[in-house]
Amino acid sequence: MSLHETRKIKLHQPENFQFDSIPDSHAWDNLHDHPTVEPVGPDTIPIIDLSDPKLIEKIGKACEGWGVFLISNHGIELKLLNQLCSQMHRLFALPADVKLKVAKADSFDGGYGGDPFSRFLPKYTWSESFTVLDSPLEHAKKLWPNDFSSFCDVMEEYKTAMNRLGRRLMHAMLLSLGVSEEEINDTPFGDFSKIKTVYSLNSYPPCPEADRVLGLPPHSDTGFVTFVYDNGVSGLQILRREDDNGPTRWVTVPVVPNTFVVNVGDLMQVLTNGRFHNMVHRAIIGKTYHRMSAAYFFSPELDVKVSPLSKLIDPGVGPLYKTVTWPELQTKRSLSYGHALDAFKIDSN
């Protein structure tokens, strides 16, 4: 496949590129806009044990202070997570012409392709992904006509386990803010049928000129919460704003076996009236190791309107954000990658 053909359908097949140097179409500027630091000392990203008696308190502190944290003792069997990684390797090892059989017709469809917002980016990312909106069955039949069931079985078990974990954690998040069980029932979390789940399997192949390419540019996720599990290879970084401990900096998320990274999304920031804040993050590329990840997104159904919980609104100030639906936020992100939430802030002046 030629580079022209790959670009035309907005797919990214870096493993097929044979160049003496990175083409301009994939070379990003300003990758070193801020210093990069390791997650030590004041930049140690919280790791929360879900069996901790102080779970609620620690989750609230992490969501307010960081917008990201790792979770351990999450209840998902390591066997399933190993199977998930195995199936990701199996998927992305397929020849390009086979993967293209399930290419996305549109950026927001399920199937094989790149970031849904890739057409709005100035450069191409050094990555590929496979998105599942509901069931991967029809796509799996095209990828493995005679052996699709093993992939589908693992994905279905993964989906069931993640829905259970997501409901538990999002419930704990709201409890940490003093929201009662009755009040939670009035949110999308009280009726899980109002929650839309999507997951994306992602591949970030190594690159000899890793300091010139990006797996994903800086952005925040638009939904409520995102869970990320990877194959043990580093590459996720979060943006820590300037504080008493230093200037704005990229903090590399540590690789901790059998943990998930949890990101607070834009709509959780809206729902909590800014008490919890989203986390800007990016995926960088390594020179030697191939990173893969599974990102599981929890968002509201398309017609659900999200606004700040009344209990979290200061009567003297009022809500900080307008009522918004997930599609409205997605549209703004298309127009302003990474800054979608700014359009829904309420000017207090």
- Alpha-helical (H) ranges within the chain are 3-8, 55-65, 78-92, 96-99, 137-143, 149-175, 181-185, 266-271, 326-335
Q: Determine which one of 240, 249, 275, 291 is catalytic.
A: 291
Q: Of the candidates 227, 241, 307, 311, which has an alpha carbon nearest to the alpha carbon of residue 268?
A: 307
Whether 212 sits among the annotated catalytic residues: the reply is no
Calculate ∠ Cα 160-282-280, nearest 5°: 85
Q: Which long-range contacts (CB under 8 A, 24 or more apart) does 26-31 make?
A: 26/123, 26/124, 26/125, 26/126, 26/212, 26/213, 27/123, 27/212, 27/213, 28/123, 28/212, 28/213, 28/214, 28/217, 31/211, 31/212, 31/214, 31/284
| First-to-final CA distance of the chain | 55
Both tokens of 339, joined, read 């800054």
Adjacent-strand bridge partners of 298:
197, 225
Q: Where in the sequence numbering do the catalytic residues fall? A: 291
